[in-house]
Chain A
Amino acid sequence: MTATQALVELDDVSKFYGNIKALEHVSLEVHAGEITCVLGDNGAGKSTLIKIIAGLHRHDGGTFLIDGEETTLANPRDALDQGIATVYQDLAVVPLMPVWRNFFLGSEPTRGAGPLKRLDVRLMRETTRAALLRMGIDLRDVDQPIGTLSGGERQCVAIARAVHFGAKVLVLDEPTAALGVKQSGVVLKYVAAARDAGLGVVLITHNPHHAYLVGDRFVLLKRGVMSGSHTRDSITLDELTRQMAGGSELEELSHELERATGPAPGAAGS
């Protein structure tokens, strides 16, 4: 697998905000038809990483390669033009706008020319409906404000949007963070569907269980530095969970919890 050209490759990338090191020496690869998971606790630098790939921030050190060529993205539009679509956890959509307007936001199809150039509303409505139906979301009314959809559905709309617009790389920022168990499952299924459609996926999460369900590669971040990089073959879920939680810290925690739960029944009886 490593022989093929990576769609996106970060090599030794760093990012500073003033004198704060947000990200240092991080490397990762995204291949077509694979899911690269980026795991880390709050403040580990996941958001910074995602913003570099999405073109919201520029990296300060290291190299950023798209299709093997070194690049610096100027803005999100630039990233989109290069085939990198990002779905943000909280700012994926404009809640008050109808679903179909959201779906095409920033890439609206038009008909006519000159002053009569107008949105192709019919096409927009029908395409939105069809694209969502393919992902198993049957909206009767694509006119409803997208804010009336559930969190999982909103994520799915955003994923469907990225797939529809021919993204090569899909970056997902904690798509399951605010969701219940069922909805998380639905979203992960669409992530896998996007992978099967040949996209390279970057999945940012702090849930190793979700990551291990779908991931092919795992990059662990801790306090802005990379604390591990594994392929699926080289790591087990237990090991991933252990590393994610800080290894020995988790063991300590489990000891503490055991001690805490041990005498509890006796204490309750007295």
Chain B
Amino acid sequence: MTATGQPASPAPAPGAPDERLLRTSPLRRLLGRPELGSVVGAVAVFLFFAVVADSFLQASSFGTVLYAASTIGIMAAPVALLMIGGEFDLSAGVLVTSSALISSMFSYQMTANVWVGVFVSLLVTLAFGAFNGFMLTRTKLPSFIITLGTFLMLTGLNLGFTKLISGTVSTKSIGDMEGFGSARKVFASQLTIGGMELKVTILWWFVLVAIATWVLLRTRFGNWIFAVGGEAEAARAVGVPVIRTKIGLYLGVAFAAWVSGQHLLFSYDVVQSGEGVGNELTYIIAAVIGGCLITGGYGSAIGSAVGAFIFGMTSKGIVYAEWNPDWFKFFLGAMLLLATLLNAWVRKRAEATA
């Protein structure tokens, strides 16, 4: 085999080990993408349900699957960014419920227009995110502990305040209030395209994933996210504002929680105060299936979307296959293990061929 271009390269300094650097093939580049494992997984799940569930391939089913995926995906994107930044947010699930409750109860108790509640909810939800980020960076405790604390506190606050104010575990209906119609259009409308009923959350999802991807790959902030997750001390030493970056990531999660919360409120009109517990793990699983390293510094927002899509296909596919939905969790667990193993295997292969 003749050396291809090797001698033509500029002579390296004597002793410098440049010869050891190898070129990369496009295939290896593709294999090195963090999303690859999840894409392979998504194709496998899609084919599986396409075979076992007759109605899975219908357009209407696809709309339902996308909707289920979007409710997870809206949160999974900022959670993925947070994980790339090296942190967790266990309070993300209940924060969605908190956001919906605040919006509903503030509107019902204080004003006549639901938009006021919607914006108050935005501010308070962002404040919760800032609290998480601030506590984390001030105390330097692991985010697992900090957000476990806020998770439990929010769970208690959700139930406690709702019972205190409404007398029951759910909020009062705000369906007849001013602005409900327009708010519903923004957060919970649906349109029909070619027999597919598409909820507006799908649009929110796509937009959020696009923004997250843009921020991650093409902005300074994105560079800092990778850096603080990969090696925070090195990042700090070259002047990256580590604290601001982490707080910013928690604000991102809070913003998405606000969007999800408003969707919850305006699609069902009333909010159950006990909801949301357990969803935080769903978001993390979607991000991990999408290729995020649990240790930070590596991952993608698009991967989180594919992870969410796998979730949507599995949860609805089991229904279309007319199986007992009790099997959902089993499938999910198996999926998580397989996707993570596949990711690890692919990464190892990509490095081995180098």
Stretch in B13-21, B66-74, B178-186, B188-196 touching the partner: B13-21
**Chain A residues within 8 Å of B17, by CB:** 150, 152-153, 182-183
Known contacts A56-B237, A91-B231, A97-B230, A108 near B220 by CB under 8 Å: yes
Against A, the Cβ 8 Å flags (1 = close, 0 = not) of B137-162 are: 00000000000000000000000000
What's the minimum C-beta distance from B110 to chain A, rounded to whole angstroms? Answer: 33
- Among B29, B223, B230, point to the contact of A96 (Cβ < 8 A): B230
What's the minimum C-beta distance from A27 to chain B, rounded to whole angstroms? Answer: 25
Against B, the Cβ 8 Å flags (1 = close, 0 = not) of A125-147 are: 00000000101111111011000
Q: Is B126 an interface residue (CB 8 A)?
A: no
Give A107 to B224 CA distance when docked, in angstroms. Answer: 10
What's the minimum C-beta distance from A201 to chain B, rounded to whole angstroms? Answer: 18
User: Are B218 and A121 in contact, with the CB atoms below 8 A?
Assistant: yes
Stretch in A31-39, A61-69, A98-106 touching the partner: A98-106
- Among A92, A101, A186, point to the contact of B223 (Cβ < 8 A): A101
Smallest CB gap from B234: residue in A: A91
**Chain A residues within 8 Å of B348, by CB:** none
User: Are A107 and B239 in contact, with the CB atoms below 8 A?
Assistant: yes
CB under 8 Å from chain B, chain A span 241-261: none
Q: Is B236 an interface residue (CB 8 A)?
A: yes
**Chain A residues within 8 Å of B226, by CB:** 94, 96-97, 101
Q: Is A14 an interface residue (CB 8 A)?
A: no
**Chain B residues within 8 Å of A95, by CB:** 230-231
Give A143 to B350 CA distance when docked, in angstroms. Answer: 14
**Chain B residues within 8 Å of A182, by CB:** 15, 17
Q: Is A42 an interface residue (CB 8 A)?
A: no
**Chain B residues within 8 Å of A92, by CB:** 234, 237
User: Are B13 and A136 in contact, with the CB atoms below 8 A?
Assistant: yes
Give A106 to B237 CA distance when docked, in angstroms. Answer: 9
**Chain A residues within 8 Å of B235, by CB:** 94, 105-106
User: Are B297 and A137 in contact, with the CB atoms below 8 A?
Assistant: no
Against B, the Cβ 8 Å flags (1 = close, 0 = not) of A153-193 are: 10000000000000000000000000000110110010000
User: Are B219 and A119 in contact, with the CB atoms below 8 A?
Assistant: yes
User: Are B238 and A118 in contact, with the CB atoms below 8 A?
Assistant: no
What's the minimum C-beta distance from B140 to chain A, rounded to whole angstroms? Answer: 16
- Among A76, A106, A133, point to the contact of B10 (Cβ < 8 A): A133
Known contacts A137-B16, A137-B18, A182-B15, A94 near B234 by CB under 8 Å: yes
Known contacts A108-B220, A119-B219, A133-B10, A54 near B237 by CB under 8 Å: yes
Q: Is A223 an interface residue (CB 8 A)?
A: no
User: Are A141 and B23 in contact, with the CB atoms below 8 A?
Assistant: yes
Give A133 to B267 CA distance when docked, in angstroms. Answer: 59
Known contacts A105-B227, A118-B219, A152-B17, A86 near B237 by CB under 8 Å: yes
CB under 8 Å from chain A, chain B span 1-44: 9-10, 12-13, 15-18, 20-24, 29
What's the minimum C-beta distance from A32 to chain B, rounded to whole angstroms? Answer: 23
**Chain A residues within 8 Å of B222, by CB:** 119
User: Are B24 and A141 in contact, with the CB atoms below 8 A?
Assistant: yes
**Chain A residues within 8 Å of B29, by CB:** 143
Smallest CB gap from A144: residue in B: B24
Smallest CB gap from A184: residue in B: B15
Q: Is A77 an interface residue (CB 8 A)?
A: yes
**Chain A residues within 8 Å of B214, by CB:** 118
**Chain B residues within 8 Å of A54, by CB:** 237
- Among B13, B223, B227, B297, point to the contact of A189 (Cβ < 8 A): B13
Give A93 to B13 CA distance when docked, in angstroms. Answer: 23
User: Are A93 and B239 in contact, with the CB atoms below 8 A?
Assistant: no
**Chain B residues within 8 Å of A96, by CB:** 226, 230, 293, 297-298
Known contacts A117-B219, A138-B9, A189-B13, A88 near B237 by CB under 8 Å: yes
Q: Is A110 an interface residue (CB 8 A)?
A: yes
Give A152 to B15 CA distance when docked, in angstroms. Answer: 11
Q: Is A80 an interface residue (CB 8 A)?
A: yes
User: Are A150 and B20 in contact, with the CB atoms below 8 A?
Assistant: yes
Smallest CB gap from A101: residue in B: B223
**Chain B residues within 8 Å of A119, by CB:** 218-220, 222-223
**Chain B residues within 8 Å of A137, by CB:** 12, 16, 18
What's the minimum C-beta distance from B87 to chain A, rounded to whole angstroms? Answer: 16
What's the minimum C-beta distance from B199 to chain A, rounded to whole angstroms? Answer: 26
**Chain B residues within 8 Å of A133, by CB:** 10
Q: Is A236 an interface residue (CB 8 A)?
A: no
Give A56 to B224 CA distance when docked, in angstroms. Answer: 19
User: Are B218 and A118 in contact, with the CB atoms below 8 A?
Assistant: yes
A-B contact pairs, 12 of them (CB 8 A): A91-B234, A94-B230, A95-B231, A96-B293, A96-B298, A97-B230, A106-B224, A119-B223, A138-B9, A150-B20, A183-B15, A186-B16
List of 7 A-B pairs having minimum Cβ-Cβ separation, nearest first: A136-B13, A106-B239, A106-B238, A94-B230, A91-B234, A77-B239, A94-B231
Additional A-B contacts beyond A76-B236, A148-B351, A186-B13 (15; CB < 8 A)? A86-B237, A94-B226, A94-B297, A101-B226, A104-B223, A106-B227, A118-B218, A119-B218, A119-B219, A119-B223, A138-B10, A139-B21, A140-B9, A144-B354, A185-B15
